[in-house]
Copies of this chain bind each other. A is one copy, B any other.
Amino acid sequence: MLPVIETIFLRQMASGDRLFLQVYKFVGDQPGKKVYIQSNLHGAEIAGNAVIHQLIEFLLTINATDLAGEIWLVPVCNPMGTNERAQHFSPGRYCTYEAKDWNRIFWDYEKEADDLVEFTKSQLHLTPKVVRQNYLTIIQEQFAKLLEKINSPTSVPFTESFRYQLQSISLDADYLIDLHSSTNQALDYVYYFCNREDSAKYFLLDFGILLDKYDGDAFDEAFIKPWLALETLFQQLGREIKFDIEAWTLELGTGMQMNPDSVAKGVRGVKNYLIQKGVLQIHNLPYQTKNDRMSFFTSSKRKKYYAIAGGMIQSRVELGTQVKAGDQLYQILSFNKESKLPSVIDIFAQESGLVYDISTNQAVNQGEFVLGVIS
């Protein structure tokens, strides 16, 4: 089947050149869910582009009858980030004009939903499907007001028109998948939200991290936070309801790389997820159902180590090492300009855990990131 391809104007630069988003929409013959998948929101995190490319190649080979609902794919979704260069490297994590993380700029309906309790009360006796539609309508109405501001004489900083474009095409999705990697070097894992552990296993990855504390500014958070809030309110008012709405951030390896193994895991995971969710309905696709040996962690237990002194990192434990409190994590080879010999500083683990992220750069100014441990 062929996708509908939509090109969306994103930004006019000072030179008059224009940047765009491009959405590949595969629309099935059968009704169903809307799946939204994007990649490369952080400029260095390119692995997801290969994942989306391979998904497109795959979807071109199936029939529209094999697809229930729609799959929207948005590769290279942040041209500003993707194209930024610092000499030969690709930083692209932040909008440097505004000093903002490109993935901490999104609009979270819940922050302005003052009357959510009242709304919930009004929906207590309606079917989940109707509630879903009513709530989405309110979110969309509120969201539409952002456009007025964008088009007013004051307009808005670029991050606000950028988020508007990405959220305008994803706000009504049922399943949202944001393909990241470490900007540095990390394991392959998935970030998931409260009560979505079972679906997380469909991605067939070895690790999952529950986002247990967050502010709603990341893309996945901003999408799902209003729905989780509604679920909680229903519960408080005595009714259990769980919307079939899910948001995922897949972390696929190392920044500036499209590691074939990480890419393959990403493709396999997304395809299996779509099959398990009934979006892909193809005979004899030989996939596992879920990974039952998956390890789960919680994001609030991530502990980052920053260099206590400037210098060069050496003898660092490998990515994926399970460390115990007191184990040596790394050394700083510390030079000085005070007529002394260089020294070596040993750094030991404060707590036990899994080394899930390490810095690509082994030179550190004091206070720069060295590695992350999760327990």
Contacts and interface: CB of A to CB of B under 8 A. Distances in A.
B365 A83 contact: yes
A183 B88 contact: yes
Given A50-B312, A91-B86, A308-B153, A16 B334 contact: yes
Nearest to A329: B153
A161 interface: yes
Contacts of A79: 13, 15-17
Nearest to A85: B97
A121 B20 CA distance: 55
B93 A87 contact: yes
A258 B314 CA distance: 7
Contacts of A360: 88-89, 256
Interface residues of A, number: 103
A29 to B, nearest CB: 21
A337 B17 contact: yes
A370 to B, nearest CB: 9
A56 B16 CA distance: 16
Binding site secondary structure of chain A: loop
A286 to B, nearest CB: 25
A278 interface: no
Contacts of A311: 12, 14, 16
B97 A99 contact: no
A349 interface: yes
A50 to B, nearest CB: 6
Contacts of A314: 50, 258, 260
Given A13-B82, A159-B367, 4 more contacts: A11-B366, A11-B367, A12-B309, A87-B97
Interface of A: 3, 5-7, 11-22, 24, 40, 43-44, 46, 49-50, 53, 56, 60, 75-76, 78-79, 82-83, 85-94, 96-97, 99-101, 151-162, 183-184, 256-258, 260, 303-314, 329, 333-342, 347-350, 359-369
Listed from nearest, the 3 A-B pairs whose CB atoms lie closest are: A158-B367, A86-B86, A16-B335
